[in-house]
Amino acid sequence: MIRLLVSLYLVVFISIIAINQGSELIWQHWVYQAPDELRHAKQVAKSLQASVTDAPSSNSSLNTLHVDEVAWLPEQRSQLLQGEVVTTYTEQNHAVLTFLMKDKQTLVQLGPFMPVEQAVLPKYLIKLCSFLLLAVLLMFWLRPLWRDLMQLKYVTSQLAKGQLDISIAPSRFSAIANLTSQFHTMAKKVANLMSNQKHLVNAVSHELRTPLARLKFALALMHKDAPEQVSLMSEDVQEMEILIDEMLSYARLEMAQNELQFNAFDFVELLHEQLEKLKRITHKQIQFECQLEQLTIVAERNYIARVMQNLLQNADKYGKEHIYLAMNYEQGQVQLLVGDDGMGIESAVREKVFEPFVRLEKSRNKTSGGFGLGLAIVNKIVNWHGGYCEIETSQWGGAQFVVHLPVKAKT
């Protein structure tokens, strides 16, 4: 940061000094010129000063006065004593030429002459060119910095999309070259971690499923000898399979964002499909509210179905007798509500339930089930679609999940 500030200060400081000096030089030598009348008057004043040896008489047409009658500035007095012609201006901006006679006491004044015309247009043109030159110099300083920042943006976007093959070339002249190199090193480490995660998912998929299949086969052969123990062991094996499936689903979800395919489909039809599936597996009373007969939206249908499925299964798992399902559409936003009459979720922990492997129970058991990944999957899918999830209290005092999906839709 210090290097960045120092380099910026030096560039601006040196540029301003160089531009000011150059502008002044151009103005004095090529732009600014005194009016012809004033230049001619100065030549006449010098000739007159050289030709008049004695002080002019009282009846002379020349305007004379004593040198002490005027409060001269030290620089002006010094110029007069050196024999130079001093130019002063009246309140009306008229020029008056004054020179000192050889007696060093008598002053002769010529004028007043017409006001000096200001060269307005060249003056502002020089200012404009000066600012443009300063902008060009700053652009040369900013170009390496801008290039590195764009590379950082590219790397972060590639990592967000799951692209692991990334490479950047930091500029040696950039003020943040060290930061860019360190960020590139960090990005490579992140890419390696993501790659290792992919390999881990594949290993879990192949290496764990095979011994579980052998265990299930062996338990099937032992069922006749110890049916109760085999039944309990079979449940444990099945639970491990479910856990593996959930872990694989969540791991695949982490890398599936760049493979999303958004297509148009009927959201109400999908809602009815999931509702019919729920009715086949639950005995609880389902209260359904939807005022629309059709709602076409553009989204990833399979993942939206997964959101509905996870929320309905969660309501069926923790609800006692009632499940609430509703859908609203207002101002380009779909609102899905899923509630139950269970124990509910306290306000202090509502944000945590969307994190992976987070469960509200102190200890997990087979009756409650679950591994803390269902709601994490819901939250990730909804975030992909630009929406968000929140938890409220249902009409029965249980939990009610509200999913907001900002999508383009046609009713």
Among residues 71, 61, 66, 72, which one has the least CA distance to residue 104? Answer: 66
Please tell me the predicted confidence (pLDDT) of residue 336.
94
Residues 6+ apart with CB under 8 A from 298: 262, 263, 264, 407, 408, 409
Q: Are strands 388-393 and 399-406 parallel, antiparallel or unpaired?
A: antiparallel
Alpha helices in 161-208 (DSSP H): 177-203
CA distance 87 to 34: 12
**Digitized pLDDT (tens) for each residue of the chain, 411 residues in all:** 566 666 766 777 777 777 777 777 766 665 555 455 566 667 777 777 677 655 555 545 677 777 788 888 888 888 888 888 888 877 777 778 888 887 778 888 877 776 555 556 666 777 777 778 877 877 777 777 777 777 777 777 766 666 666 666 666 656 666 777 777 777 777 777 767 766 776 666 667 777 777 777 777 777 676 777 777 777 777 777 777 777 777 666 666 665 677 889 999 999 999 999 999 988 999 999 998 889 888 888 988 999 999 999 999 988 999 999 999 988 888 999 999 999 888 888 888 888 877 776 654 455 555 667 788 889 888 988 889 999 999 999 999 999 999 876 544
b/e 216-235 (16+ beta carbons within 10 angstroms → b): eeebeeeeeeeeeebeebbe
> How many angstroms separate the CA atoms of 321 and 141, rounded?
69
Tokens of 294: 């059709």
Cα dihedral 256, 261, 265, 267, rounded to 10, equals: 30
Burial annotation 169-203 (CB, 10 A radius, 16+ → b, else e): ebbeebbbbebbeebbeebeeebeeeeeeeeebee
CA distances from 287 to 176, 308, 327, 340, 401 (A): 59, 15, 12, 10, 15
Amino acid at 314: N
Residue of 132, 177, 187, 131 lying closest to 156 (CA atoms): 187
CA 253 remoteness from chain centre: 26
What ranges do the domains of the chain cover?
2-113, 260-410
User: What gap in Å lies between CA 94 and CA 38, rounded to an integer?
Assistant: 10
**Residue 369 is encoded by which pair of tokens?**
């089930």
Q: What are 192's two structure tokens?
A: 């390696």
| Domain covering 260-410 assigned CATH 3.40.50.1820 in the classification | no
CB atoms within 10 A of CB 72: 18
Q: Quick check: bond before 112 cis, omega within 30?
A: yes
How many Cβ atoms from other residues are within 10 Å of residue 354's Cβ? 21
Distance between CA atoms of residues 174 and 180, nearest Å: 9
Between the CA of residue 191 and those of 119, 159, 160, 184, 195, what are the distances in Å?
63, 7, 10, 10, 6
Residue 330: how many other CB atoms lie within 10 Å: 7
Q: Who's near 235: CB < 8 A, 6+ residues apart?
A: 366
Q: CA–CA separation, 125 vs 127, rounded Å?
A: 5
| β partners of residue 327 | 290, 336
Smallest CA-to-CA distance from 383 within 358, 411, 410, 354 is with 354
CA gap 75, 411 in Å, rounded: 87
Query: How does DSSP classify residue 114?
Result: P
pLDDT, position 175: 60
Per-residue model confidence (pLDDT) at position 335: 92
